[in-house]
Amino acid sequence: MAVTIVWFRQDLRLQDNPALAAALKRGGAILPVYILDTAADGDWPAGGASRWWLHHSLASLAGSLRERGSRLLLAAGESGVVLRALLTQTRATAVYWNRRYEPAIIARDKTLKAELLATGVDARSFNAALLFEPHTVRNKSGGPFQVFTPFWRHCLTLPVDTPVKLSAGDIPAPARWPASLDLADLRLRPAIKLDAGLAAAWVPGEAAARKRLQQFTAAALADYADRRNLPETDGTSALSPHLHFGEIGPRQVWAAVRALSKDSGVFPANRGGQVFLSEVGWREFAHHLLFHFPQTPAKPLRKEFAVFPWRKSSRQLRAWQRGMTGYPIVDAGMRQLWATGWMHNRVRMIVASFLVKHLRLSWQEGAAWFWDTLVDADLANNTLGWQWTAGCGADAAPYFRIFNPFLQGAKFDPAGSYVRRWVPELARLPAEFIHRPWAAPPHVLAEAGVRLGDNYRQPLVDHGEAREAALAAFRCIRVSRP
């Protein structure tokens, strides 16, 4: 009986999995395998929070395969070496996988695919991660888009494939199974207390992803446009880690929103659905940029920023990482990140702006911290977000747009509920001062039990002074441009 190896990567699901569907259509036995290949990621091996998620997502996938009469074989090492060994052991004649779009992975996969084909192996790859693959989307000049609005407008003229459904029944297993590592052998779970916080906040896996999508579309989609910027509400989809690990695919998300809208007759008039799908579009745009500008995880897209006078301060970087800047909305976001491996998107923009424009510490420092602490750490999204905030990327926020943390907090957390949750030492402050405790009268601070400089720090920098310094630095690179 013919054997096909299905190589799972960031597509840890059974439904809408084109590689698995193609293997089933080919016929014969299927050998599902996941290979932990840390070298393949180049300069961006998975961070601690992502490794935690991966551990539990693999456990979930293994359980789903067992329910279908199959198994998930686990291995570690160089992917090509492992796959060639499995081909020999099982006499498999095909290897199918779904594509990834990180520069190092693209280069590795291209070489590996050519080598396998040269030896007579049926090596095929498929799209499971995106609505529109980067190499298929071009502007009128034939080049890549660098501004989101025309990119998304163009994408909306293109067809979206229907999700691939896996029918009921067992997945044919090989006659003999090669040896597999135990999940614990991959050593993915962190040996720190962060583990407990992540477990309290998340349930990884395909079933949890589908449940979250159903909950979101049923309860929050209609109000998404109005509630998505309010960090204390459950107004966002929280699907980002599920999408990154491929526990659910964007085609499934697209279909769920469209199906709901068709039933109610409100699409495309429903603003919540429109805005939500445009956020899916930003994910597509991020991958588009990473594909066409592979240098951007380390270097600014706008070359003049290569000479930007970033500061160096390990003390201030550490204060930002720990949520001890003296700006409540910033500190709340950074503490939420450490506790849960996730941060509300509006707050991500605020804390990122604070790092690069108030402290003038480089966006690369921030990107590295997010990479290690986010459960949804994604090279494309992480790069786009940080370069956008720093003003050095495609369609970026102007550098002179400097968020005032107090005003941002007052606007998007007006009652201070988000700050009270994550910065409990300020919980008793009235809403008037919750985002600017330094302005509270002494008696108000005393009644709230807040001792500035003791149990809550004074602001790390003065907003006005930091703003002027950032603008001066921006003027410096404008003058130095050729």
Q: Taking Cα atoms as reference points, which of 328, 322, 282, 299 lies closest to residue 448?
A: 328
Residues in a beta bridge with 35: 75
Is 468 labeled as catalytic in the residue annotation? no
Indicate the residue type of 152.
W
- Residue 365 annotated as catalytic: no
Catalytic residue among 78, 115, 254, 345: 345
Using an 8 Å Cβ cutoff, are 452 and 445 in contact?
Answer: yes
Compute CA 94 distance to the chain's CA centroid, rounded to the nearest angstrom: 31
Q: Bridge partners of 122?
A: 94
Q: Which residues contact 94 (CB under 8 A, 6 or more apart)?
A: 2, 3, 4, 5, 23, 26, 121, 122, 123, 124
Residue 129 identity: A
Active-site annotation holds for 279? yes
Q: Is 342 assigned a catalytic role?
A: no
59: amino acid identity, one letter: A
Sheet strand arrangement including 94-98 = 73-76, 29-36, 3-8, 94-98, 122-126
- Which position among 7, 53, 386, 422 bears the catalytic label? 386
363 is catalytic: yes
Among residues 115, 133, 254, 282, which one is catalytic? 282
Exposed e or buried b per residue across 175-201, where buried means at least 16 C-beta atoms within 10 angstroms of its C-beta? eeeeeeeebeebebbeeeebeebbeee
Going from the C-alpha of 120 to that of each of 4, 83, 99, 288, 393, the distances in angstroms are 13, 14, 21, 32, 43
Catalytic hit among 78, 254, 310, 404? 310
Name the amino acid, one letter, at 178: P
Q: Is 97 a catalytic residue?
A: no
Active-site position among 7, 202, 320, 363? 363
Contact 357, 474 (CB under 8 A): no
What is the rounded end-to-end Cα distance, in angstroms, of the chain? 65
Which among 78, 115, 133, 279 is annotated as catalytic? 279
Residues marked active site are found at 279, 282, 310, 345, 363, 386
